[in-house]
């Protein structure tokens, strides 16, 4: 006999009707083999008395089982488990793994937590998820969302609902991204970065990380060699390694990636791609020197490797005009240029872009289609409108002035208050300072002590190359006001 009274657990306070709960549990008993094909169920009156229910509740549960094909009714005989079910051997329940309340496996042994089949869990994909801190913070180099042009964006969103044919702009769109944004972005990139693009050279993505993923998937195969700086952005490295490619590194000094070391590597091995952040190297913020830029492009042409250029913070440079990207001097189609508006406006605006020859853009769009049919047409249209009206450019100019002042004040504070324990070079641009701490300081412990006093900062451990201890971290200044930066330095000094 099946102990229905002890196995069936009904919650009368639940929003799920009792008859549905009863039907679901009977179905679970059938699927796990506790009830076998052709087994007779108790009569509705008998089960109702056993469970202290109204008989009509049990009738409704049985009717639900009949409708789902789990049960079958035999005239004059009763209700039975459907005979078409295969024989299922009941699972043996480990007494120690059983939840005493309902006699079923506890949560940690539940299929809701662990599947019944194996899969590879890749250690290199384990990485803390960064979120915007609401208290004092010296983050990775985030923008100040309080400066974002919210009113202008709201107007642009409203205009989307009044624009064009509703059937057109509320249906499926172009996988490459909204045409208005690609047109305006092409103009913006050509004017500010010296590129020579058309809308067909641009693919809109959900942030630069999606662009890096798509490019890596299209260009790389298992065993391909990819070269990055010895210190590098973890997100890029994770995408490269996920393809099965081999990741090699070359040193990075005060002038950026050591291209001479790359030259030696190219003479001995077939390099498929080089990933670089030349404007401000991540994480150290140094700029790739002009002669090395020329040499890198020449190497790409000579050895036939692709350059994946991530220009994550081009819009924020504080000394005259920023250095033009590698892509602006590319005459042989060797550079794939990736950028984002996430750092320029706000992280929630998942607008990134890939700039490349049209043949590659077409292939990236085909791959993107099977991952994410399209982006957010309303957001893409709205950002396109802000570019067209000049609102976004005005935001860039305002943010540039603000971040410039915050950089100067933050570097002044680090110099006057912490010069004996922190060493840094004032960055020419970007939104963070690369700070090297006294070797005697335990960075993990420092980050924990700071958090206990209401200040978030990264321990920087994730920036350490294998076998090395840099004892440094990025201290973001852009997302904090000057007053908040002053408070943050006071806390940092106290925990040091």
For residue 91, give the CATH number of its domain.
Answer: 1.10.10.10
Q: Do both 197 and 224 map to the same domain?
A: yes
* Same-domain pairing of 185 and 329: yes
- 124 falls within a domain: no
pLDDT for 311-358, tens place per residue? 888 888 888 777 889 999 999 999 999 998 877 777 777 889 999 999
The predicted pLDDT at position 413 comes to 96
What does the pLDDT look like over 350-398, one tens digit per residue?
A: 889 999 999 999 999 999 998 887 778 888 888 899 999 999 999 989 9
pLDDT on residue 94? 47
Total number of domains in the chain: 3
The dihedral through the CA atoms of 237, 240, 242, 247 has a sign that is: negative
Q: Specify whether 353 is located in the same domain as 401.
A: no
3-state secondary structure of 434: strand
Residue 179 and residue 100 share a domain: no
The residue among 367, 390, 413 that closes a domain is: 390
**459 and 325 in one domain?**
no
Q: How far is CA 284 from CA 14, 230, 238, 276, 352, in A?
A: 55, 11, 19, 13, 22
Q: Where in the sequence is the domain holding 81, given as residue range(s)?
A: 4-109
Asked, for residue 129, whether it belongs to a domain, the answer is no
CATH of the domain at 402: 3.90.1150.10
Tell whether 202 and 105 lie within a shared domain: no
pLDDT score for 103: 44
Q: Specify if 296 maps to a domain.
A: yes
Residue 438 sits in the same domain as residue 359 = no
485/432 Cα distance (integer angstroms): 12
- Which one of 325, 357, 390 terminates a domain? 390
How would you class 227 by CB atoms within 10 Å of its CB: exposed for 0-12, middle for 13-18, buried for 19 or more? buried
Residue 125 lies in a domain: no
Give the model's pLDDT for residue 131: 62
Distance CA 135, CA 121 (A): 34
Q: What integer pLDDT is reported at residue 91 of this predicted model? A: 59
Q: Is residue 127 part of a domain?
A: no
| Residues 476, 377 within the same domain | no
- Based on the fold, state whether residues 211 and 313 are members of the same structural domain: yes
The SS3 call for residue 204 is strand
Contact predicate 475/485, CB 8 Å:
no
Is residue 190 helix, strand or coil?
helix
In a domain, 401, yes or no: yes
Q: Pick from 403, 426, 373, 418: which is nearest to 481 by CA?
A: 403
The SS3 assignment for 306 reads strand
Could you list the mean pLDDT of each consecutive 10-residue stretch along the chain, which spans 496 residues? 82 90 90 88 91 92 90 89 77 48 52 75 72 78 87 82 68 85 94 93 92 95 95 88 93 93 95 94 91 95 95 83 87 94 79 94 93 82 90 91 95 94 92 94 93 92 86 93 95 94
Residues 268 and 407 in one domain: no
CA distance 478 to 317: 12
Cα 369–374–375 angle (5° rounding)?
140
Predicted local distance difference test score (pLDDT) of residue 462: 85
Question: Domain boundary residue among 368, 390, 412?
Answer: 390
- 319 & 340 share domain: yes
Instruction: Identify whether residues 173 and 250 lie together within a single domain.
Output: yes
In a domain, 217, yes or no: yes
Contact 287, 428 (CB under 8 A): yes
Would you say residue 324 lies in a domain?
Answer: yes
């Amino acid at each position: 006999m099946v102990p229905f009274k002890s196995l069936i657990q009904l919650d009368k306070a639940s929003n799920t009707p009792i008859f549905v709960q009863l039907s679901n549990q009977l179905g679970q008993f059938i699927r796990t083999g506790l009830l076998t094909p052709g087994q007779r169920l108790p009569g509705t009156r008998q089960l109702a008395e056993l469970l202290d229910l109204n008989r009509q509740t049990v009738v409704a549960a049985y009717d639900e089982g009949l409708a789902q094909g789990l049960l079958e009714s035999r005239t004059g005989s009763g209700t039975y488990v459907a005979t078409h079910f295969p024989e299922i051997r009941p699972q043996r329940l480990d007494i120690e793994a059983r939840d005493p309340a309902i006699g079923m496996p506890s949560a940690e042994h539940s299929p809701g937590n662990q599947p019944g089949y194996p899969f590879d869990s890749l250690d290199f994909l384990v990485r803390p998820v960064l979120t915007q801190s609401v208290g004092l913070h010296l983050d990775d180099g985030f923008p100040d969302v309080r400066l974002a042009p919210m009113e202008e964006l709201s107007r642009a969103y409203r205009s989307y609902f009044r624009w064009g044919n509703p059937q057109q702009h509320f249906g499926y769109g172009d996988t490459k991204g909204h045409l208005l944004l690609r047109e305006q972005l092409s103009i913006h990139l050509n004017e500010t970065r010296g590129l020579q693009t058309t809308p067909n050279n641009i693919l809109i993505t959900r942030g630069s990380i999606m662009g890096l993923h798509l490019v890596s998937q299209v260009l790389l195969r298992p065993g391909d060699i990819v070269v990055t700086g010895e210190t590098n952005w973890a997100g890029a490295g994770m995408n490269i390694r996920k393809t099965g490619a081999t990741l090699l590194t070359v040193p990075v000094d005060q002038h950026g990636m050591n291209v001479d070391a790359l030259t030696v590597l190219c003479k001995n091995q077939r390099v498929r791609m080089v990933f670089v952040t030349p404007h401000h190297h991540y994480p150290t913020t140094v700029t790739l020197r002009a002669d090395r830029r020329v040499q890198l492009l020449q190497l790409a042409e000579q050895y036939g490797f692709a350059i994946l250029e991530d220009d994550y913070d081009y819009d924020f440079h504080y000394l005259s005009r920023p250095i033009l990207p590698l892509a602006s001097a590319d005459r042989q189609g060797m550079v794939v240029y990736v950028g984002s508006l996430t750092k320029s406006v706000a992280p929630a605006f998942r607008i990134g872009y890939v700039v490349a020859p049209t043949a590659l853009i077409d292939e990236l769009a085909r791959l993107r289609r099977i991952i994410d049919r399209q982006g957010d047409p309303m957001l893409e249209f709205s950002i396109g409108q802000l570019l067209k009206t000049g609102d976004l450019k005005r935001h860039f100019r305002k943010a540039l002035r603000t971040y410039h002042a915050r950089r100067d004040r933050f570097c002044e504070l680090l110099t006057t208050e912490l010069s004996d324990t922190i060493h840094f070079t004032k960055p020419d641009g970007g939104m963070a300072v690369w700070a090297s701490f006294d070797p005697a300081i335990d960075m993990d412990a420092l980050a924990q002590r700071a958090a206990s006093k209401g200040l978030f900062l990264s321990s920087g451990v994730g920036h350490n190359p294998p076998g090395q201890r840099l004892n440094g971290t990025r201290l973001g200044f852009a997302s904090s006001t000057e007053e908040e930066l002053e408070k943050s330095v006071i806390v940092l000094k106290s925990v040091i």
